[in-house]
Amino acid sequence: MIKSEICEMLGIKYPVFQGGMAWIADGKLAAAVSEGGGLGIIAAGNAPGEYVKEQIKIAKSITSKPIGVNIMLLSPYADDIAQIVIEEKVEVVTTGAGNPSKYMKAWKEAGIKVIPVVASVAMAKLMTRLGANALIAEGGESGGHVGELTTMVLVPQICDATTLPVIAAGGIADGRGVAACFMLGASGVQMGTRFLSANECTIHPTYKEKVLKATDLCTMVTGKRLGHPVRSLRTQFARDYSKAEYGGMPDSELEALATGALRLAVQEGDNEKGCFLSGQIASMVKKEQPAAEIVKEVMEEAEPILLRASKWVK
């Protein structure tokens, strides 16, 4: 059994987080992951506080194990949700796409475990100083909003910059990825794309099918010109957006093209107008299975790999 300090800190069996995927990671998916011994995380995305409250209620009706909420800091509702997680006594908060400094004191005082995504060494040092409990180092192999550095490069640098436990994210699909992240100094992993095929993940069947059929070169990054690079499946929409982006479409029109595109992918499976966020490991997602099975499977796969690692040392 692989154990790390993150298991003790959060009271979880396996050091596996399910990423807070906007529009996707709802109370049902998060509860299934937490029931399976990992940490399930509800994504606030761009949704209003009422939605998040409802999802917390759903999760808590399914599991009494700890759950997390991910706050996407570009959201117009970030301030509201920062307060709701305190009122609802959420155990863990993760943040993404920005700097959560202004909320840290209130969250700490409420006893919430705060685990920000950091995309740079400077941010890792700042969050350590402000009292974060752990850090998530997410490389650009991940789906959604991506940073500059890969997981291979980011994780060891973040580990060197902090005394806190580091959770590696981006590009992890199975036990090999988990073992590799532990070798880089991580104390846990976060997976997003791998959970898209979970039975409890309620995305449109077309979305699931696209992930299950994906091949190695199936994702691309768009949105760099507007400063929000996003990795998604290489669909008609992604190709059209990329053409518009490099063809000189005005910023306002480009923004309009992207508005609502995540919802259209998740809820309608709309190939022409939907943006199907996905990490580079989509091609390694092979089957639908319960979320709890995914958590257990990747950790059990990692065990013999880590045990045999010493074979290289002569």
* Position 98 contacts ligand TUI (CB under 6 A): yes
DSSP 171: S
Nearest residue to ligand TUI, by Cβ distance, number only: 144
Q: In the set 52, 71, 72, 135, which binds ligand TUI (CB under 6 A)? A: 72
**What 3-state class would DSSP assign to 93?**
strand
User: Closest separation between CB of residue 44 and ligand TUI, Å?
Assistant: 10
Nearest CA to 295 among 33, 44, 76? 33
Q: Distance between CA atoms of 155 and 93, rounded to whole angstroms?
A: 20
Contact between residue 232 and residue 219 where contact means Cβ atoms under 8 Å apart: yes
Q: Tell me the residue ranges of DSSP E strands in 131-229.
A: 135-138, 144-145, 166-169, 188-191, 219-222
User: Closest separation between CB of residue 308 and ligand TUI, Å?
Assistant: 33
User: Closest separation between CB of residue 67 and ligand TUI, Å?
Assistant: 18
- For 90, counting Cβ atoms within 10 Å of its Cβ (0-12 exposed, 13-18 middle, 19+ buried), the class is buried
**What 3-state class would DSSP assign to 20?**
coil
Under rule CB under 6 A, which residues in 117-146 are in contact with ligand TUI? 117-119, 123, 138, 144-145
Q: Which residues pair with 72 in a beta bridge?
A: 96
Q: In the set 38, 139, 147, 165, which binds ligand TUI (CB under 6 A)? A: 147
Total of residues contacting ligand TUI (CB under 6 A): 18
What does the block give as tokens for 46? Answer: 């761009």
Under rule CB under 6 A, which residues in 225-244 are in contact with ligand TUI? 228, 230
Q: In the set 15, 27, 40, 96, which binds ligand TUI (CB under 6 A)? A: 96
* Position 22 contacts ligand TUI (CB under 6 A): yes
Stretch that binds ligand TUI, among 33-41, 96-104, 182-190, 240-248 (CB under 6 A): 96-104
User: Closest separation between CB of residue 115 and ligand TUI, Å?
Assistant: 11
